[in-house]
Amino acid sequence: MGSATSRDRLMKLLEPVACAHGLDLEDVTVTPAGKRRLLRVIVDRDGGVSLDDVAEVSLAVSTALDDGDAMGATPYVLEVSSPGVDRPLTEPRHWRRAVRRLVKADLRDGTLVEGRIVTTDETGVELDVDGVSRRIDYQDLTRGRVQVEFRRFDDAEDDGEDGDEG
């Protein structure tokens, strides 16, 4: 069930289910897990996904799978979640959802750019690279990755409460 054809079939079946709940279906994977299989369904939307959203779409996905034969007769475990911070940014909506985050972007010419996403539109993204604005068209990007920050850009300046002076 791990073939591209099976994945495509599941994506086609589950995309309208996610859409009906106002979510984008980001990915579907099936992996062996002992005598069962693990079906992972990744959903997202602008503004993020709540636990209630995950619960609702999980029930709908389960119903859609039970009504059809997409998973066959072998038992499976269904896991529905939102993408993690390590999800690659490959689609314009991924970049849009990461506005104000620090990213590393791989460009088609083989170079790497690190900067904070300032804004996005239909054709590209604007990064703040060391205080300089840099516009990059999506066609020039291969992918990006959000960088984990222990102190977010939007955190207030040091308030002195923790004893340091920085």
How does residue 2 score in pLDDT terms, banded at 50, 70 and 90?
very low
Cα–Cα distance for residue pair 98/101, rounded to 1 Å = 5
Averaged pLDDT for residues 45-53: 93
Q: Domains for the chain: give ranges and CATH numbers.
A: 2-81 (3.30.300.70), 92-146 (2.30.30.100)
Torsional sign, CA 99, 103, 109, 111: positive
Helix (H, G, I), strand (E, B) or coil at 94: helix
Task: Please tell me the pTM assigned to this model.
Answer: 0.76
Using one digit for the tens of pLDDT, what is the confidence trace for 122-162?
A: 999 999 999 999 999 999 999 999 998 887 655 544 444 55
The residue to which tokens 């099936």 are assigned = 30
Query: Which has the closest alpha carbon to 45: 32, 54, 33, 36?
Result: 54
Q: Which ranges of 21-151 would DSSP assign to H, the alpha helix? A: 51-67, 92-97
Using one digit for the tens of pLDDT, what is the confidence trace for 25-39?
A: 999 999 998 889 999
Cα–Cα distance for residue pair 25/8, rounded to 1 Å = 12
